[in-house]
Amino acid sequence: MIKNEQQEIVVVAKEISTSVEPTNGEINTPSSVVSNSVVSNTDSSNEEGSNTPRETAPKPRHNKKPRYNKEKANQETNQEGNQENEQENNQENGEQEAPLPRKKPVHNKRKNNPNNEFPENDNSAVAWTSDLKKANAINEKSHRDRLNPHYKLNLNTNAKIRITPLGGLDEIGGNMMVIETDKSAIILDVGMSFPDENMHGVDILIPDFSYLREIKHKIVGIVLTHGHEDHIGAMPYLFKEMQFPVYGTPLPLEMIGAKFDEHKMREHRRYFRAIEKRVAYKIGDFEVEWMHITHSIIDSSALAIKTEAGTIIHTGDFKIDHTPIDGFPTDLHRLAYHGENGVLLLMSDSTNSHTVGFTKSEKTVGPTFDNLFAKAKGRVIMSTFSSNIHRVSQAIEYGLKYGRKVCVIGRSMEKNLELAMRLGYIKFPKDQFIDAHEVHKYEDKEILIITTGSQGEAMSALYRMSIHEHRHIKIKEGDQIILSARAIPGNEASVSTIINHLLKAGAKVAYQDFSEIHVSGHAAQEEQKLMLRLVKPKFFLPVHGEYNHALKHSQTAVDCGVLERNIHVMSDGEQIEVTPKYLKKVKTVKTGKIYIDNQLNHKIADDVVLDRQTMANEGVVMIVAQINENDRKMVQMPRVRSFGLVPDKQDKIFSTEIEELLELFLTNCKPGVFKNNKIFEDEVRKVVRKHCVRKYKKYPMIVPTLFVQ
């Protein structure tokens, strides 16, 4: 059943791909109007000379003048039609001077020279080729045309696209976005994020799905860029509520599959639709094409989303690694192809917007590993992000090179490595792997341990090894630890803690002392520029990052020729409408975070988390009292207990304060207050709170239990 569905999809996809990708790769360009024959191709305004091999170029067709003129006329009509756009493009380029006159052919002489050969002895032709000022002007125009292919966008369309980020902006993590037309909508990534230290007992955060509920009827699918948690982590929680077909490359799908298995919702795997890169898939009103991109997890993609309003490119998370471990660099050609055809909108990864230069290739980590492995006398213990399969595979490679057995410890590390080997992304001899309980059978210099904990997580295997709480492995003198990662913002303190534990246990720790012990998975400024130059978008929305990252990225975009007024720095919940004519914010939808308890795998109500915050930060006061309504007196002494507010030895004083407070309140309050217990308790709460704020500068949680008789 699943297989049939997938086959169907592929068939449809092939059809689409042929229908949307003309063989010569050109759509609606001035030159394509005349490119039906080789002759007209050489006649076209391509001043740099045709690449058509001379041998295959037919003889000059001077005798077929009428047809030639007709083609030229077509070309000019087309150019006129685009004049409005081109003027706009000239403005976009910051050009103040008037565009070159369109109707005056400035290079007529060459029109009669189908092979673009320079007529050495033809004096009549020299007029043009020797007028260098004119030649320069022509070339300038050629530059403007190539830099702004936006005249290829259809300005006459009424099609509108709406884009709504529901997570991933103003924050790191929780990436999710909706792209919609009037009739259909796709969800781009469904990620999770991590709580801060004030969210007690919360394991992960997922985006608020309220807006999805609102437009559920028109959602036609989920499209995935890659398998990082901040892009797929919330999938099980979405699927508990609503299900749609999920399109993506095999690795992210299998990673979601593993989550579905854990959540006992294996049957939802039937929604998976594995795609082939470079093929366009019809999904509702959209044609979505996945393009290979390099990142710190394998099998990542950028997306080209064709819509009636124009093509939208979403980079996903990326860097531009020319020497990736698997030999599959970013598909620059495909990005350039779309750029050349005119891109309406680019959304690009802003994470490293402040980093100048290029992010180094994953391959640069290899020599650092080699160096450390060569010198290590005892065990080598390498820790990195478990999803960074290429980093792990580099470590394994050097481990095997130096005759070490490989022991993988840590649930997520074991799971991801097994998955990558099972799907065929990496290949290693199975007999070189050993279990944790076998480590003691080998000499120290024959052991490589690969494990989790590079962020100092207190539950991680490395942390437990460092404080001697791991069942099989205890860190000892002679161990060489390699922390091949950088602390994610917010984790610096815990990384520092684990390093202290490792050093105390006698190990050597290699962390940031080598610049190439870890490389980022995100594009630095020069790569962001390359992306902007390849795609040449009319509009630009920086995504994936905090506000300051997105703002910096928008500056880079201006430097690369995008008009400032064509850029918007979005926040979560802002709905942006884009057409070939404009990009603007139209409304704001509900967004936020839902708290998840990983032990129970379901959500924690907001008020529970708020109560926990209040109790942790401000303390608790509990009051039990019995009141006689007639004489407005307490029947006996109230019982007052407080936690986290005053020291135990002051409990009695505090108790007396509250008692006096209640007595005063009972004498002065309105008689009606006793009729409704809820109102009565609220009033008491107010009085006690006022006292606590005045005297202790705290807002404790106040729990009155009052009996009226």
**Which positions touch Zn ion (CB under 5 A)?**
228, 230, 317
Q: What order of strands is seen across the sheet that includes strand 176-180?
A: 272-274, 246-248, 219-223, 185-190, 176-180, 161-167, 574-578, 583-588
Measured from the CB atom, the residue of 228 and 338 that comes closer to Zn ion is 228
Measured from the CB atom, the residue of 82 and 351 that comes closer to Zn ion is 351
| Nearest-approach distance from CB 231 to Zn ion, in angstroms | 6
| Nearest-approach distance from CB 535 to Zn ion, in angstroms | 19
CA 82 to CA 585: how far, in whole Å?
Answer: 27
Phi, psi of 161 (to 5 degrees): -115, 140
Measured from the CB atom, the residue of 296 and 341 that comes closer to Zn ion is 296
Residue 289's closest CA among 335, 332, 322? 335
| Nearest-approach distance from CB 300 to Zn ion, in angstroms | 7
Residues in contact with 228: Cβ distance below 8 Å, sequence separation at least 6, in sequence order = 191, 296, 297, 317, 387
| Nearest-approach distance from CB 113 to Zn ion, in angstroms | 53
Measured from the CB atom, the residue of 173 and 257 that comes closer to Zn ion is 173
Measured from the CB atom, the residue of 290 and 654 that comes closer to Zn ion is 290
DSSP readout, 630-690? TTTEESSPPEEEEESSS-GGGHHHHHHHHHHHHHHHHHHS-GGGGG-HHHHHHHHHHHHHH
Measured from the CB atom, the residue of 175 and 575 that comes closer to Zn ion is 175
| Nearest-approach distance from CB 544 to Zn ion, in angstroms | 6
What is the b/e burial string over 203-237, where b = at least 16 CB atoms within 10 angstroms of the residue's CB? bbbbbbbebbeebeeebbbbbbbbbbbbbbbbbbb
| Nearest-approach distance from CB 704 to Zn ion, in angstroms | 47
Report helix, strand or coil for 265: coil
Residues in contact with 261: Cβ distance below 8 Å, sequence separation at least 6, in sequence order = none
Measured from the CB atom, the residue of 232 and 475 that comes closer to Zn ion is 232
| Nearest-approach distance from CB 454 to Zn ion, in angstroms | 16
CA 571 to CA 583: how far, in whole Å?
Answer: 15
Measured from the CB atom, the residue of 41 and 300 that comes closer to Zn ion is 300
Measured from the CB atom, the residue of 33 and 256 that comes closer to Zn ion is 256
CA 342 to CA 34: how far, in whole Å?
Answer: 19
| Nearest-approach distance from CB 297 to Zn ion, in angstroms | 6
Write the CA distances from 270 to 2, 189, 213, 583, integer angstroms.
6, 18, 22, 37
DSSP readout, 512-565? TTSTTS---SS--HHHHHHHHHHH-EEEEEEESB-HHHHHHHHHHHHHTT--GG
Measured from the CB atom, the residue of 285 and 317 that comes closer to Zn ion is 317
| Nearest-approach distance from CB 487 to Zn ion, in angstroms | 16
| Nearest-approach distance from CB 318 to Zn ion, in angstroms | 9
CA 218 to CA 129: how far, in whole Å?
Answer: 58
Asked if 252 and 273 count as a contact pair (C-beta separation under 8 A), the reply is no
CA 516 to CA 534: how far, in whole Å?
Answer: 28
Measured from the CB atom, the residue of 289 and 317 that comes closer to Zn ion is 317
| Nearest-approach distance from CB 331 to Zn ion, in angstroms | 17
CA angle 339, 185, 576 (to 5 degrees): 65
